[in-house]
Amino acid sequence: MSVEESNQCDPGSSGRAELKIHRRAMLLVATTPILVPFACSRTDGTADPAAGDPPVAASPVRAEVPDLRPFPPSIEPLVRIKVANTARRTVELGRVGQRLWITQPGSESAGRAVRGPVRIVRDDEGWSVRWSQGGRGSSARFVGAGPLAIADGDAQAQGIDFEGRRLRGTIRIVSIRNTAGEPELDLVCTLPMEQYLPGVLEKELFASWRPATFEAQAVAARSFAVCERAFWLRRRHYDMVAGQASQAWSGGAASRRSRDAVQATAGRVLLWRGQVVPAYYSAACGGRPANAIEAISANQVNRIAPLTVDGGTARRRCGCTTDSPHADWRISVGEDAMVEALRAYGRRVSNQALASIRGPVEVTVRRRNAAERPIDFEVRGSGDPIPVVLPAGRVRSVVADAGGRRSWKDGPRSACLELTGADRGYRIEGRGFGHGVGLCQYGAESMARGGASNLEILARYYPGATVGVAWESAAPPQAAFS
């Protein structure tokens, strides 16, 4: 299928009523290989304009900008998940008696079959591996800078134990240097997408939630992972982190509900104009969803209809506004703490106006999106003629800093917030939990309880997107080992 042909699968433009979108949601079966351009989308969500930068314009979808989102892969991809990073030079892996197969990919070294647990030590010349066999100590040596790969050698691959977790897939230990030039080790699991996803659902959703919620989440998580992999494949040694920076991951252990949802949606990804949608999701949108271009990053891949909020009222009635503990919340921070947090941020980004700001400080919403969620704020210190403009996400993190990085219950749960002056401080009122882009997990569960299918849920939270089958699952996910 050529690019032009695949673009003909475009279901149309944004702005349809959600029910119409759902009826037109279609399944596209990829029967021929599809061109997969690598290194195309940046979706790690770390971009954040520094203080004083021109704010990102909330402009509508622009068709003339090249769309660098990936095309759906025609075969199930492997994904690389960073599960740990350590400043130690030693890693211990495996259960007592477990068969492990150790290799150094790309080197001349022969692989070694060993018995767990193994103790692996990195030094300047390479890797030392020690284990116990028949009561006697054994060791092997792998020379060179390349990573060491440890595979589960048991017939019933159960995963490899590491610090109380059981990790699925092949584990690579990669020797890196941190930004200060100090040596560290990264642990990266590599495994097929469909085996990875159950462990995502396991951590992202409550066990009691409905199957349709799990299925919608499976399609979103798969689509997000496809985009991350496409971007990072040739840029770094992992695609995603197991955690909030990407997607939570249990390491592989998953309930039947998680595994069933992945199997029921195997290979299905969200598409818009024939290319995969980086399907962001968060816990609760608070009825005021965010645009990806403002809340995730200014990358053009985020300027697409399914990730853009329109002025309709559908999301204001999102179930999370009635059926979640995050519908609205209130916290307070002291004025001195807020001023110091603003100054500290100003010093970090070399913004003189912020670094020397004096209280009392006014923090007011400057612009809102079509759903009335704040996009950015004006921060005006005592005696300052010109306010500093900060994106809403930055204001959220400054408020979190001012609160001493307390638990999520006591901190700002989202950037959908407003500050009002109170006695020597601020009262902060907010809605929702998380960045508010794309699928709202509490809202999805509310729909599922009302009988909605996974397609209806996806159509509501990614308006204009369709669901297509990118690859047929080679085999059902392996049995649980929870």
Q: Which residues bind Zn ion (CB under 5 A)?
A: 285, 318, 320, 440, 443
| Minimum CB distance to Zn ion, residue 260 (Å) | 25
| Minimum CB distance to Zn ion, residue 287 (Å) | 6
Decide whether 230 or 320 has the Cβ nearer to Zn ion: 320
| Minimum CB distance to Zn ion, residue 413 (Å) | 13
Among 205, 308, 303, 198, residue whose Cα is nearest residue 256: 198
Decide whether 377 or 442 has the Cβ nearer to Zn ion: 442
Please tell me whether residue 445 adopts helix, strand or coil conformation: helix
Decide whether 268 or 460 has the Cβ nearer to Zn ion: 460
| Minimum CB distance to Zn ion, residue 285 (Å) | 3
| Minimum CB distance to Zn ion, residue 320 (Å) | 3
**CA 6 to mean position of chain CA atoms:** 27
| Minimum CB distance to Zn ion, residue 327 (Å) | 9
| Minimum CB distance to Zn ion, residue 280 (Å) | 13
Instruction: With beta carbons less than 8 A apart as the criterion, state whether 113 and 100 touch.
Output: yes
Instruction: With beta carbons less than 8 A apart as the criterion, state whether 478 and 157 touch.
Output: yes
Decide whether 342 or 440 has the Cβ nearer to Zn ion: 440
Q: Which residues of 253-271 are buried (b: 16+ CB within 10 A; e: fewer)?
A: bbbebbbbbbbebbbbbbb
Q: What is the 3-state secondary structure (H, E, C) of 4-30?
A: HHHHCCCCCCCCCCHHHHHHHCCCCEC
Decide whether 119 or 316 has the Cβ nearer to Zn ion: 316
Cα–Cα distance measured from residue 411 to residue 400, given in angstroms and rounded to the nearest whole number:
6
Beta-bridge partner residues of 174: 186
Report the Cα–Cα distance between both ends of the chain, in Å, rounded: 41
Cα–Cα distance measured from residue 443 to residue 457, given in angstroms and rounded to the nearest whole number:
9
Decide whether 240 or 320 has the Cβ nearer to Zn ion: 320
Decide whether 109 or 369 has the Cβ nearer to Zn ion: 369
| Minimum CB distance to Zn ion, residue 283 (Å) | 9
Decide whether 320 or 331 has the Cβ nearer to Zn ion: 320
Among 291, 270, 235, 300, residue whose Cα is nearest residue 459: 270
Residue 382 burial (CB count, 10 A): 11
Beta-bridge partner residues of 433: 284
Q: Which residue stretches of 303-434 are H helix? A: 335-348, 352-355, 392-402
Q: Which residue stretches of 233-334 are H helix? A: 256-264, 292-295
Q: Which residue stretches of 160-242 are H helix? A: 193-204, 211-232
| Minimum CB distance to Zn ion, residue 30 (Å) | 32
| Minimum CB distance to Zn ion, residue 449 (Å) | 14
Among 269, 187, 259, residue whose Cα is nearest residue 6: 269
Among 308, 313, 284, 281, residue whose Cα is nearest residue 430: 284
Instruction: With beta carbons less than 8 A apart as the criterion, state whether 436 and 372 touch.
Output: no
| Minimum CB distance to Zn ion, residue 423 (Å) | 33
